[in-house]
Copies of this chain bind each other. A is one copy, B any other.
Amino acid sequence: MPHRIKAYVDSHRQELLAPLLSLLRQPSISAQGLGIRECATLLGEVMASAGIDTRVLETAGFPVVYGEAPGPAGAPTLLVYGHYDVQPAEPLSAWITPPFEPDLRDGRVYARGAGDNKGQLLAHVLAVRAFRGTGTPLPVNVKFLFEGEEESGSPNLLEFVSRHRDLLQADLVVTSDGPKHETGRPILFFGLRGLLYVELIARGPNRDLHSGHYGGLAPNPAMALCRLLATLKHPDGRVAVEGFYDDVVKPTPYERELLAAIPFTEEEARRDLDVAELDRVGDLHGLEAVMFAPSLNVSGITSGYGGAGSKTVIPSLAVAKIDMRLAEAQNPDDIYDKVCRHVRRYAPGVEVRRAPGGSPPSKTSPELPASQAVIRAVRAASGAEPVLMPLLGASMPDYIFTKVLGVPSIGVPYANPDEHNHSPNENLRLEDYYDGIVTSGYILRELAGLPAKGRT
């Protein structure tokens, strides 16, 4: 069977590329509310034409595109999760070609959302089309849940999944998001850091002031904010918020083994990022710091004049955006309280505003039969040994599947390691796109052998 899927993909490349280009031409920036609904409609059409029974389901925010493709009665059910919204494209001047005019060059498609996540979710959709195209019956039931708010922290997914608990029941959730390993080898990951996002808002005088007339008299909110931010980390990189690490669970011995087997050198990372030194978190460094520690990151600071030339002004406002990646079993509500306490102690005048969304961390055991089935499928499809990641740094609302829906969840990224997701010149290698479709086909086959929830 998989050979027929592979042959189909090889002989239908243009037809399989067309829906991706079409989706990439449609902006869908959830942070700015731009083009979301148009993109949902378009995605629904693409799914329907792949032979998937598709519905656009409302949430309190942007809609979910839901689909079903039934397999044999009593077969296990796979739920494919993905998101059709994308990150903002700024800074626009850094793009070689415009972010929403997909450009084919060097065997890649360049566009915002190419890898994160339109190309990857489409690979699963088009696997169904490949089964249909080759006249092969689907070996399992497949459900699709594509949301439009992942890049804004999935504020309505929890409510949506809770409300549609029966509709969404499955034996496994698979998500293809993020990049493969730097070596090009496939990755499987079994857990995710959570996310807490806050804005710190420092207010100064009620208007911007002439620094010559008021410098020394009017307090500067940018300086107040910097002083506060400087208190958030110890010199060794550990977060200085009291109690921040209280609930962090140490990795199991098996997880440490997986970590040790991951090909990675700090020297290569340093060269790739072109930095003199890598960051570290206390004693942790390299992959350990990313995978087994929470992080606190300044993702933006804005205050005063940022244009060309010199402006001499005491700003009336300074804002920092901070994201915290949470490790198992940190709780976002608890960490938010601790951050608020820290700010009250060091800069009582600064306002802490919690962004909507955020999520607890999530974990699935790599020793489950479903986990092993996916490992076998990826190994067979790629002909390579996948890198097994106990935990990934990415933010996805995985906990909603593992902790609310009660279904194990595995990540299988299809994108090239240099996809530049969240950055200018985001791209997806076409080979990885087509291989993703084939891999999805293998996964469906391997899952057919599992016991299904409904079966007795």
Contact = CB atoms under 8 A, between A and B. Distances in A.
Given A284-B216, A305-B88, A297 B279 contact: no
Contacts of A456: none
Interface in A279-327: 279-281, 284, 286-287, 289-290, 293, 295-315, 318-321, 323, 325
A205 interface: yes
A31 B306 CA distance: 12
Interface in A82-98: 87-88, 90-91
B315 A304 contact: no
Contacts of A297: 211, 215, 220, 223, 312, 314
Contacts of A298: 220, 222-223, 226, 303-304, 315
Q: For A204, A205, A232, A296, which residue has the most chain B Cβ atoms within 10 angstroms?
A: A205
A32 to B, nearest CB: 6
A211 B295 contact: yes
Contacts of A441: none
A32 B222 CA distance: 23
A332 B311 CA distance: 18
B216 A281 contact: yes
Interface stretch (A62-70, A156-164, A421-429): A421-429
Nearest to A393: B212
Contacts of A14: none
A154 to B, nearest CB: 11
Nearest to A316: B423
A276 interface: yes
Contacts of A32: 307-309
B273 A218 contact: yes
B321 A305 contact: yes
A315 B309 CA distance: 22
Give the interface size class of chain A: 35 or more
Interface string A185-211: 000000001010100000011111111
Contact of A152 (B90, B152, B218, B310): B310
A42 interface: no
Contacts of A230: 223, 226-227, 229-230
B393 A312 contact: no
B213 A275 contact: no
A56 B454 CA distance: 89
A233 interface: yes
Given A88-B307, A90-B305, A394-B210, A276 B217 contact: no
A357 interface: yes
A152 to B, nearest CB: 6
Given A212-B193, A393-B213, A424-B207, A349 B276 contact: yes
Given A212-B393, A216-B284, A217-B289, A311 B315 contact: no
Interface string A43-87: 000000000000000000000000000000000000000000001
Contacts of A290: 213-217
A251 interface: no
A26 interface: no
- Tell me which of A212, A219, A303 has the highest count of chain B C-beta atoms within 10 A of its own C-beta: A212
A237 B220 CA distance: 11
A299 to B, nearest CB: 5
Nearest to A216: B289
Contacts of A313: 299-300, 422-423
A277 interface: yes
Interface of A: 30-32, 87-88, 90-91, 151-153, 178-179, 193, 195, 197, 204-220, 222-223, 225-227, 229-230, 232-233, 237, 269, 273-281, 284, 286-287, 289-290, 293, 295-315, 318-321, 323, 325, 349, 355, 357, 392-395, 420-424
11 contacts: A32-B307, A195-B312, A206-B274, A210-B423, A215-B296, A216-B280, A220-B297, A223-B232, A299-B315, A310-B321, A310-B355
Given A195-B312, A205-B273, A311-B321, 5 more contacts: A210-B393, A211-B295, A226-B227, A300-B303, A301-B304
